[in-house]
Amino acid sequence: MSFPHRHLLGIEQLKPHEITAILDLADTYVDLNRRAAKHSDALAGLTQINMFFENSTRTQASFELAGKRLGADVMNMAMQASSIKKGETLIDTAMTLNAMHPDLLVVRHPHSGAMDLLSQKVNYAVLNAGDGKHEHPTQALLDALTIRRAKGRLHRLNIAICGDIAHSRVARSNLFLLGKMENRIRLVGPPTLVPSQFAEFGAEVYDDMHEGLKDVDVVMMLRLQKERMDGGFIPSEREYYHRYGLDADKLAQAKPDAIVMHPGPMNRGVEIDGTIADDINRSVIQEQVEMGVAVRMAAMDLLAQNLRADRQAAAG
């Protein structure tokens, strides 16, 4: 089995060849998604529940579309308005869902490690759609696929991840993934948002963005997570934009063919200049969204294959 996992909880648990397996399968789904008839029956008969304890538009839509294109029955549960408010614990919610026999559960939760807890208690496949400040594996996979298609390879690249690293699960998953694929990673941002401990993982930490972007192949911008800021990480948005916002001047430090990425949603004029975000010669932000659907189809397909194999084995 090229992908021996029951759940997709994070990139940390994956081996390089397993990452490659997901990306290779995702490439075929990119082709499928570009056709007029986009349907496959890889998940036919299976039930996918999207359970989001945090607001999400694009990730939830991407997972929903991915599931539907593969023929799953997809249900969305907006949990902010739901039983959690009535005091039900995460485990109880998971057990309740368990009794409804879903096959794939896509979860986003505001606390790091919530999926590790949940996955111990259930007999369906859990996909992490973001847990607190910990991991967002499908985002890292779609970033990897985007880079691989734009650069022709996913190793020995200089990649700068810029901005609010401290509060970012995207940064952590990317750090794992790009590190496993043997790239040089730089983390760029003010010291209040880039914990120095990250240097211990082999990343280079820069607080000067001009220096940090010098000769990089990929510039990965992160959203300034305003909703996570409980005060005082930066003096103001305008000073942040001046020092750490991606503009033409700073981007000129990177290689001439460097690509610009952003997981969205963007704060134009805070972390990125709008004209760069829209520059089709530099920005691959739209491609990232496209790759997102394909990567999620691939991940769910692989997990569903394992789920079916497990059940067949259990049935004897």
Partner 1 sequence: MTTLFTNARLIDPEAGTDTPGGLIVSQGRITAVFPGGADAAKELPGHGLSPDEVAEVDCSGMCLAPGIVDIGVKVCEPGERHKESYKSAGLAAAAGGVTTMVTRPDTSPAIDSPETLEFVTRRAQADAPVNVLPMAALTKGREGREMTEIGFLMDAGAVAFSDCDHVVANTKVFTRALAYAKSCGALVVAHPQEPILSKGAAATAGKFAALYGLPAVSPMAERMGLDRDIALLEMTGAKYHADQITTARALPALERAKANGLDITAGTSIHHLTLNELDVSGYRTFFKVKPPLRSEEDRLAVVEAVRTGLIDIISSMHTPQDEESKRLPFEESAAGAVALETLLPAALRLYHAGQLDLPALWRAMSLNPARRLGLESGRLAAGAPADLVLFDPDAPFVLDRFQLKSKSQNTPFDTQRMQGRVLSTYVAGEPVYRRT
The residues binding partner 1 (CB under 8 A) are: 89-91, 109, 111-114, 116-117, 131-135, 169, 172, 195, 197-198, 200-201
Identity of the residue, 45 or 110, whose beta carbon is nearer to partner 1 in the bound complex: 110
Whichever of 169 and 282 has its CB closer to partner 1, that residue is 169
Least separation in angstroms between residue 51's CB and partner 1 is 14
Tokens of 15: 């081996």
Report the SS3 class of residue 266.
Answer: coil
CB nearer to partner 1: give 55 or 89: 89
CB of 132 to partner 1, least distance (A): 5
CB 129, CB 56: distance < 8 Å: yes
Give whichever of 143 and 301 is closer to partner 1, judged by the CB atom: 143
Q: 53 or 241: whose CB is closer to partner 1?
A: 53
Task: Identify which of residues 116 and 279 has a Cβ nearer to partner 1 in the complex.
Answer: 116
Residue with smaller CB distance to partner 1, 198 or 244: 198
Least spacing, CB of residue 56 vs partner 1, in Å: 17
Local structure of 283: helix, strand or coil: strand
Q: Minimum CB separation from partner 1 for residue 133, in Å? A: 3
Instruction: Give the torsion through C-alpha atoms of 27, 32, 34, 35, to 10 deg.
Output: 160
In angstroms, give the least distance from the CB of 267 to partner 1.
21
Least distance to partner 1 from the beta carbon of 275, Å?
33
Strand bridging mode 47-52 / 104-109:
parallel
Task: Identify whether the C-beta of residue 240 lies closer than 8 Å to the C-beta of residue 249.
Answer: no
Min dist. Cβ of residue 185 to partner 1 (A): 14
Question: Nearest approach, Cβ of 89 to partner 1 (angstroms)?
Answer: 6
Q: Rounded CA gap, 161 and 22, in Å?
A: 23
**SS3 at position 240:** helix
Residue 52 and residue 119: Cα distance in Å, rounded?
15
> In this structure, how many other beta carbons lie within 10 angstroms of the beta carbon of residue 282?
21
Per the DSSP assignment, residues forming a β-bridge with 73 are 47
How many helices (H) and strands (E) are present in the chain, helices listed first? 11, 9
Query: Which residues have CB under 8 Å from 292's CB, separation 6+?
Result: 58, 59, 62, 138, 139, 142
Structural contact between residues 29 and 297, judged by C-beta atoms closer than 8 angstroms? yes
Closer Cβ to partner 1, 90 or 258, answer by number: 90
Q: How far is CA 309 from the centre of its chain?
A: 27
CB of 120 to partner 1, least distance (A): 9
E-strand stretches of the chain: 47-52, 73-78, 104-109, 125-131, 158-162, 184-188, 204-206, 218-221, 259-261
Nearer to partner 1, 90 or 219 (CB): 90
